[in-house]
Amino acid sequence: MNRRGASRLRGDSGQVAIEFLGMAPTIIITLVLLWQCVLLGYTYTLAGNAADEAVRAGTAAQGDPEAACQREGVKDLPSAWQDGADITCGGRGSGYIRATVELHVPVLVPGLIDFPIQVKAHAGAVEEVTDD
- CATH fold for domain 12-126: Pantoate--beta-alanine Ligase; Chain: A,domain 2 (3.30.1300)
Q: Determine the pLDDT at residue 89.
A: 87
Q: How far apart are CA 21 and CA 78, in angstroms?
A: 38
Q: Determine the pLDDT at residue 1.
A: 54
**Contact residues for 91 (Cβ-Cβ < 8 A; gap 6+):** 97, 98, 124, 127
pLDDT in tens, 50-63: 999 888 888 877 77
Instruction: Tell me the domain boundaries of the chain.
Output: 12-126
The answer, yes or no, to whether residue 4 has pLDDT greater than 80, is: no
Q: How far apart are CA 79 and CA 111, in angstroms?
A: 8
